[in-house]
Structure 1
């Protein structure tokens, strides 16, 4: 078998069913919803609306959130059918391996791995920054060496980020069932904080702050501002807010009745997230002029203080810090399941695909925890923010197109699921097209780093993965 044939060899779905059958199925619909909402509605809801409004859209930031949600929603339908038909660990990596072949599955999974590494690092850093801002008025302040990434403002290591990511890694290692209970409680708290901001903030809205709703277009140093050009730029920047439903799909091998649980969890969490994001955006730009959010890392706190609600600001920001743990939990679980899948298939060292005596992939949990700590606390990564979206959009395009060959195999060697993507064959193509349009809207640096990450992945596949793949055993 030559290299091209090896790259396109497909895994038998029954093999994944057997391999993942040892994972404990303990997640119900409410747990999947909590994971989805907790991951999607993360630190970005408290920061991105103000930043995007100031940089690109003005008061029309809600339109960017809605358009980004439409693009994500189209892909969510594809994810829901895939997760119902193939409830395997590793989500897009495993699905594409079955549908298109080993190399293409590796490309999709490798792209997602960038998302999980960077997203964990970003949320850990964001949690650290917000917590330090909250305790500063009490006179508690860490030295610069323990507050920032290496080489940034005198920093050596971000201690709070390290501890928060490590704590989540320990929590996940003791079992998904326990994690789900913690996640559910934190998500309820976070949604309460968001609703509290919306209700209190709605009493201080000023009609003048919404005019003009779509400012006139003009170019700036940060890119386009105003008009539909600015709204499009806002969509590309905002899209990372919605990518969390992939982390939900990555846990489908641990869901009870995945045919019902996964579609409800994936689509339901996205719908809840859209309502919350749009509500926060509209209230935020209505309290103070959007220009005041430029360069501000805590626009929700700024808005509440401007509305003379400083105590509510402290309450919301305190809960927001706790709520960021939900995103860390969701990304850590999904990333560890992806790494476990790589090890399970021999694409990375097989030790990563081993389960402990309690059937938990704790080698993979340890790996992603250490990787996120290194990235988030040693290396400055602010310039790589859109790479989170870049990697995910690549996987989204693969999954959207995979619906076509999936339909031909459902009821044959793949389960014929009760949930299917509606308006076939039009909707899968629209999902692919929407993902491509958002990808093209990313900045040049994000595309460059995505290209470098892709090349690194291809090298690892050619040097290690293709030689150690579990599919090699079938050829002997």
Structure 2
């Protein structure tokens, strides 16, 4: 048993990661990380969640749910900024936890994030497909049910548009991070423009009575969840938090950053500030235009609100740009997910093939594997019930990173470099970040917790029977004996 524990807690030398990642091209700047972060965080959810959460949980106080979720995300983002500034390695939380806590804990954190990327890529691909079909149908363009729905859903075989969207993004990423960043930057500007158009037009239809009462009286929904009161705001936080998990996609690409000690903190914290501002503004305008109950079971509240307020052309323009903008979330998630898989292969935790770089120093084997799995999940298998697993896995990784600051700080300036950014109010803030992430996790529904438990059992089995046996640290120990 002691031998097993020694293997779980053996730590990777940070110099080894520096050596392994040195072939990755350092081409990404602050503007690229801001676009990557905003593009991933401000995805499909900004056009749907404010209305859905207002109707189901918080009423007009949905803006407070977004702010509370943002506070927790910001606390964790400070920890991410210090970690990525000190250890600009591919793989984000997986690589960091490997260095500060040990191989087994690093694997758990990385495995948690892998659930986020597999499911999020499929989730966004399917959402993009549904919205694009919604725009094409009025034009008389309609795919047959077999090619428009996932296997077993409404006579579907596979979701063709989801497959095409993921393959297009995979091709762009296979050309390199700088190529992807150029596309991302343009699409993010378009998407932010669409949101600003909605805000400018929507604010003209705002009626003050729709904000009263701002925090409705508490009651239980038929499904047992809370509506109204502070309980409803809290229930809204857990539903909304998945919107903010995208800043991890920035950290996963730290090995490809120019001057990472400054670039990474600015990219992580800057993108979060922009995203929070946009989310809160959209939420306030949306519930001000019409009473929150109008958004119940409404899959496209922004488009509906604009059309109902007498702006059908603006609604079409905003929704069209929103569909194009969904590619930004796909780019961010697939870029980060492929770098995480590369890190697993790099360290021998999964087959070494995943950690191989091509002649242009790109981890395209990992990208191919991620694309294949995401296509299967997003185009063939129904996965709507798995959406909260995105938040569950990420929150577990967030808790590890928050606590990791306590192990990191004593090593800075010794075997690790002094970071360009330090988490303020140490040692209080790391504890607050951990408790905040734990509180959001506890607010997730029972199904999400069960799915995450199953995912972790699978991950632990893979680690015990493959990763622990084949990791580079195991081979290194054998060579030393």
TM-score for both structures, normalised by structure 1: 0.99
Query: How far off its partner does 1:325 sit?
Result: 0.3
Looking at structure 2, the residues matched to 232 and 383 of structure 1 have their Cα atoms a distance apart, in angstroms, of 21
Corresponding residue number in structure 1 for 2:154: 153
- Quote the residue 1:412 is aligned against: 414
Q: Shift of residue 473 of structure 1?
A: 2.2
Match of 2:209 in 1: 208
Q: Whole-Å Cα distance in 2 between the matches of residues 41 and 245 of structure 1?
A: 10
Write the distance in 1 (CA, Å) between the matches of 2:292 and 2:137.
Answer: 26
> Over aligned residues, Cα RMSD in angstroms?
0.7
Choose the corresponding residue for 2:270, options 268, 271, 292: 268
Q: Which residue of structure 2 aligns with residue 305 of structure 1?
A: 307
Q: Residue 248 of structure 2 is aligned with which of 226, 238, 246?
A: 246
Q: Secondary structure at the match of 2:48?
A: helix
Structure 1 residues 204-233: Cα deviation after superposition (integer angstroms, max 9, x where no partner): 001111111111000012411111111100
3-state SS of 2:214 partner: coil
Q: Deviations over 1:97-117 (max 9, x none)?
A: 000000000000000000001
Q: Deviations over 1:304-334 (max 9, x none)?
A: 0111000000000000000000000000000
Q: Distance in 2 between matches of 1:221 and 1:131?
A: 32
Indicate the residue corresponding to 2:119 in structure 1. 118
Equivalent in the alignment of 1:221: 222
Residue 70 (1) aligns with residue 71 (2): yes
Tell me the CA shift for residue 408 of structure 1. Answer: 0.7
Q: 1:141 aligned to 2:138?
A: no
2:443 to 422, 441, 444: 441
Tell me the CA shift for residue 379 of structure 1.
1.0
Query: Which residue does the alignment assign to 2:185?
Result: 184
Does the CA contact (< 8 Å) of 1:115 and 1:388 recur in 2?
yes
Residue 334 of structure 1 aligns to a residue in which SS? Answer: helix
Distance 1:289 1:310 in 2: 19
Residue 257 (structure 1) aligned to one of 220, 238, 259: 259
Once the two structures are TM-superposed, the CA of residue 155 in structure 1 deviates from its matched residue by 1.1
How much does 1:435 deviate? 0.2
2:463 equivalent in structure 1: 461
**SS of the counterpart of 2:422?**
coil
SS in 2 for 1:2: helix
Residues 416-431 of structure 1 aligned to structure 2 (within 5 Å): 416-431=418-433
Structure 1 distance, partners of 2:128, 2:351, is 32
Q: Deviations over 1:400-450 (max 9, x none)?
A: 000011001111111111210000000000000000000000000000000
1:260-409 matches, cutoff 5 A: 260-409=262-411
The answer to whether the 8 Å contact 1:288/1:306 transfers is no
Q: 287-296 vs 119-128, which deviates more?
A: 287-296
Verify the 8 A CA contact 1:288 1:303 in the aligned structure 2. Answer: yes
CA distance in 2, matches of 1:377, 1:358: 30
Which residue of 2 is the match for residue 55 of structure 1? 56
2:436 aligned counterpart, secondary structure: helix
**Residues 279-317 of structure 1: per-residue CA shift (max 9 Å, x gap):** 000011111111111111110000001110000000000
Provide the rounded CA distance (Å) in 2 between the counterparts of 1:190 and 1:88. 30
Query: How many residues get paired?
Result: 476
Q: Does the CA-based 8 Å contact 1:348-1:464 persist in structure 2?
A: yes
List gaps (5 residues or longer) in structure 2.
Answer: none
Match of 1:472 among 471, 474, 477: 474
Aligned to 1:175: 176
Question: For residues 456 and 214 of structure 1, what CA distance do their matches in structure 2 show?
Answer: 42
**Alignment of 1:165 onto 2:182:** no
Say whether the 8 Å CA contact 1:386–1:446 is kept in structure 2: yes
Task: Report the Cα distance in structure 1 between the residues aligned to 2:355 and 2:21, rounded to whole angstroms.
Answer: 10
CA distance in 1, matches of 2:104, 2:56: 39
Aligned residue in 2 for 1:83: 84
Question: TM-score by structure 2 length?
Answer: 0.98
TM-aligned CA deviation for residue 146 of structure 1: 0.7
Q: How does 1:84-103 map to 2 (within 5 A)?
A: 84-103=85-104
Cα distance in 2, alignment partners of residues 431 and 104 from structure 1:
18
- Structure 1 position 52, deviation (Å): 0.5
Q: CA shift at 1:378, angstroms?
A: 1.1
Q: Which moved more, 1:288-297 or 1:57-66?
A: 288-297
Distance 1:69 1:121 in 2: 24
The separation in 1 between residues aligned to 2:431 and 2:474, in whole angstroms, is 34
SS in 2 for 1:414: coil
